[in-house]
Amino acid sequence: MTAEARPWTAFYGPNVRKDIETASYRTLADLIRSVSNTYGDAPAFTTCLPNGMNGTLSFQQVDEMSDAFAVYLREVAGLAQGDRVALQMPNCLSFPVAAFGILKAGCILVNVNPLYTADEMGKQFADAQPHALVIVDMFADKIPAATQGHPIPNIIVTRVAEFLPSLPRGIVGLVQKHWDKSVKRIEVAHIRLPDALAAGRDHMSRQRIEADVYTQSVDANDVACLQYTGGTTGVAKGAMLTHANLILNMEQTMEMLEGVEKGKEIALTALPLYHIFAFTVNMLAFYWLGARNILIPNPRPLSNLKRAFENYKITWMSGVNTLFNGLTNEVWFTDSPPKYLKFSSAGGMALQAAVAQKWQGVTGKPVLQGYGLTETSPVLTFNPLGKMRDGSIGIPVPGTDIACLDEAGNPVAQGETGEIAAKGPQIMAGYWNKAEESAHALRDGWFLTGDIGVMDPDGYFRIVDRKKDMVVVSGFNVYPNEVEDCLALHPGILESAVIGVPDDSTGEAVKAYVVRRDPGLSEADIRAHCKQHLTAYKVPRRVEFRDELPKSNVGKILRKDLRAEELARIAAE
């Protein structure tokens, strides 16, 4: 596109580059080493447990430990460049050590949801064919069932409290083993992560090997991560993200975040690091900034975040709509909101206007909404600080082109809705071992997102909804996000989800699932509220009250699960 076709650049700050074509580092290993040398003994990662017990690793410690793990993988475990290593753990100090070590080894990191069942693990292992697995002990009992038919030769086990001081580490171990019995006997051959690091250090000392040799032949366009799509709209696929994809997207995103200061930020990471947004922005970008990253192993219940807010001067945090909504309903948070917060950023699902307004009312600071997907490393758009628009996903980050297309793949007229397509250096190389699906998603350099959006005349974009989630009522398109935004305005509603259900007279009808804040709220109350704000065909015809809604591990409400329940019920009837 020409500069004239990128009207959004008018909203870039004076120091924002309009295009970023070349990454500052050849590989992620180069980035990690450079940053570690710059910040040395400064704290890099801190695990904060719900009771306030904590442990910290400096930049230098993370660098040394990940070097040792890289040597272990290559020299002791016998892996080669390009071999896959699965990483399955919640937020803890072991995560950056293992992740950075995998990248330094010239291997491909495969992030795995730690809450996956053995069946879900097995499907991802069967697809990725990892040569090693780094897993937290709480979930290691699933390994035998998950690896049937596709064994993983190297198993490395760690703990949530790994690298914490001995006293809290011991207390957590005793609680897990004897009180909540969350750690079971491990029935497969394995090595503990500290022992793997010791073996790597011993090999480095005896053989005089430096870990930097493993990435000398790694190219910027080589795959760094297999990042599996969340599966909220279908079967998960492994997006091949290269070193250049991730580094450039980190730079694109940081270019838009005016006001962050190198070496001075304290970031709260409640989103799981295996999730692409937290992986790129929280872990990579804030490491690059020299920030201190406060890791929360489990943000549920939300009171688990209380001590982190009390003990650390949080300047930045990321989250999803449900996290921001939940915190603004916690008395401890509203009574003592964070004092040093500069701003927050939202992704993963649509940020409801009512939630954004309530968050700013409580904290005095805005939530910057962005947009992206696993396949785009992930950030495509962002709301510039001070130039935010309610309900907007913002403007494309530098070097990114976005267009809205009709069913035939042609650009729609200005102001009309269409499928969002994106082109830029952050777009994946394709899906792992899925040439046909790659060809369907990537066309002439453009990635088809499956999301329906619209561009304002000056270049700001809005998401209307997921293409697959759209409800068609008597030929009229109804976007669940719009109905959910309306429901969020009702003071008696805590959460909601909207889907389309079969209907004999209209083809589909709108159904709302509602979690009540006011126990006296009725279906008639909800319909009356919606009629004040929505055209008649958008008003939910059916309402079902629930105590809770199904959610992914990052807090995204899973409409597909509700849809599956509804279809199963209809089939049974």
Give the burial class of 304: count Cβ atoms within 10 A of its Cβ; 0-12 exposed, 13-18 middle, 19 or more buried: middle
Task: Express each pLDDT in 253-285 by its tens digit.
Answer: 999 888 899 999 999 999 999 989 999 999 999
Is there a domain that residue 265 lies in?
A: no
Exposure letters 389-415 (e unless 16+ CB within 10 A, then b): bebbbbbbbbbbebbbbeeeeeebeee
Q: Assess contact for 125 and 142: CB atoms under 8 A.
A: no
Angle formed by the axes of helices 28-39 and 94-104, nearest 10°: 130
Task: Express each pLDDT in 23-37 by its tens digit.
Answer: 999 999 999 999 999
Is there a domain that residue 262 lies in?
A: no
Range of the domain at 490: 470-572
Is there a domain that residue 516 lies in?
A: yes
Task: Express each pLDDT in 477-493 by its tens digit.
Answer: 787 888 998 999 999 99
Give the burial class of 544: count Cβ atoms within 10 A of its Cβ; 0-12 exposed, 13-18 middle, 19 or more buried: middle
Average pLDDT over residues 343-371: 88
Is there a domain that residue 524 lies in?
A: yes
Is there a domain that residue 48 lies in?
A: no
Return the DSSP state at 238. E
Is there a domain that residue 4 lies in?
A: no
Task: Express each pLDDT in 199-235 by its tens digit.
Answer: 999 999 998 899 999 999 999 999 999 999 854 344 5
**pLDDT over threshold 60, residue 180:** yes
DSSP letter string over 312-364?
S---EEEE-HHHHHHHTT-HHHHHS--SS--EEEE-SSPPPHHHHHHHHHHHS
Is there a domain that residue 37 lies in?
A: no
Q: What is the CATH number of the domain that holds 552?
A: 3.30.300.30
Q: Assess contact for 317 and 267: CB atoms under 8 A.
A: yes
Task: Express each pLDDT in 493-513 by its tens digit.
Answer: 999 999 999 887 777 899 999
Write the CB contacts of 535 (distance below 8 Å, at least 6 apart in sequence). none
The encoded tokens of residue 117 equal 């069942």
What is the pLDDT at residue 89? 97
Is there a domain that residue 154 lies in?
A: no
Write the CB contacts of 348 (distance below 8 Å, at least 6 apart in sequence). 271, 275, 277, 320, 321, 554, 555, 556
Task: Kindly report the pTM of this predicted structure.
Answer: 0.86
DSSP SS3 for 297: coil
Exposure letters 273-303 (e unless 16+ CB within 10 A, then b): bbbbbbbbbbbbbbbbbbbbbbbbbbbeebe
Q: Assess contact for 102 and 112: CB atoms under 8 A.
A: no
- Strand 471-473 relative to strand 238-242, pairing: unpaired
**Count: domains in the chain:** 1
Q: Assess contact for 224 and 83: CB atoms under 8 A.
A: no
